Amino acid sequence: MDYVEIEALLNTKHLTILGGFYPDADDDTPTDCKTLILLGPREPYFWKAFKNSTEYQRDQTDPLDEWSRQVIIKFALHLNATPLFPFGKAPYLPFYKWALRTQRSHESPIKLLVHDKAGLFVSFRGALSFNKKIELPKPPPNPCNKCSEPCLYACPVSAFASDNYHSELCKTHIMGKDSKNCVNSGCAARRACPVSKSFPRLPEQSAFHMNAFLKP
């Protein structure tokens, strides 16, 4: 299968290709990997499909991770690829590094990844490693290049004000005053991104991730 055919197959389960690259020896990919593609939600269809899944209905501890594992493993078997995941037990796979290698995700002014289509709402459900070279489309420009950087100033408690993200400052605020309704609508800094604003991710999905973030 070529890139377009793989994308069409992934779309049947409301996933999409968020980028790909040809690994070098220091990329920490499987030894036989010739092409690595990263997978994420295809919005706005993904959330409804996930909510109707067995994994979500069972009310498991990590239903989204379990759904991703089941779906992506099946795709991997069909495509003769190796499935890889950003979750599980340590040592964790370097998805941040891989995302940067695709040149479709970039380090934003607040250090979170920003994607050319998903903005700061980018999230990875897994990856597929192929032992053959698949022709990849040319990546578009970095969306931050012509941006006024509203993400830097959107957080009500300046949790991104330094090079280190102050997660406890963030948690304390959103568990209390939550002046920008981050719990129900998603992180204010992520929402401020112009690309995020045009990305059709549902607030309910953002709320799911925020509640997972707040779990002990």
**Average pLDDT for 157-184:** 91
* Per-residue pLDDT band at 216 (split at 50, 70, 90): confident
| Count of domains for the chain | 1
* Per-residue pLDDT band at 95 (split at 50, 70, 90): very high
Between 63-79 and 3-11, two packed helices, what is the crossing angle to 10 degrees?
140
Read off the pLDDT of residues 8-30 as tens digits, 9 standing for 90 and up: 999 999 999 999 999 999 999 99
- Tell me the residue range of the domain where 193 lies: 3-137+147-214
- Record the pTM: 0.94
Is pLDDT of 161 > 90? no
Residue located via tokens 């991710």: 201
Instruction: Specify the pLDDT at position 136.
Output: 98
Instruction: Specify the pLDDT at position 195.
Output: 98
Domain-embedded: residue 142: no
With DSSP H G I counted as helix, E B as strand and the rest as coil, what are the percentages for the chain, rounded to 5?
Answer: 40, 15, 45
Question: What are the b/e assignments for 145-171, b being 16+ CB within 10 Å?
Answer: eeeeebbebbbbbebbeeeebbeeebe
Domain-embedded: residue 79: yes
Is pLDDT of 59 > 90? no
**Average pLDDT for 58-66:** 87
Using CA atoms of 97, 68, 57, 48 in order, give the dihedral in degrees to the nearest 10: 80
**Average pLDDT for 126-154:** 97
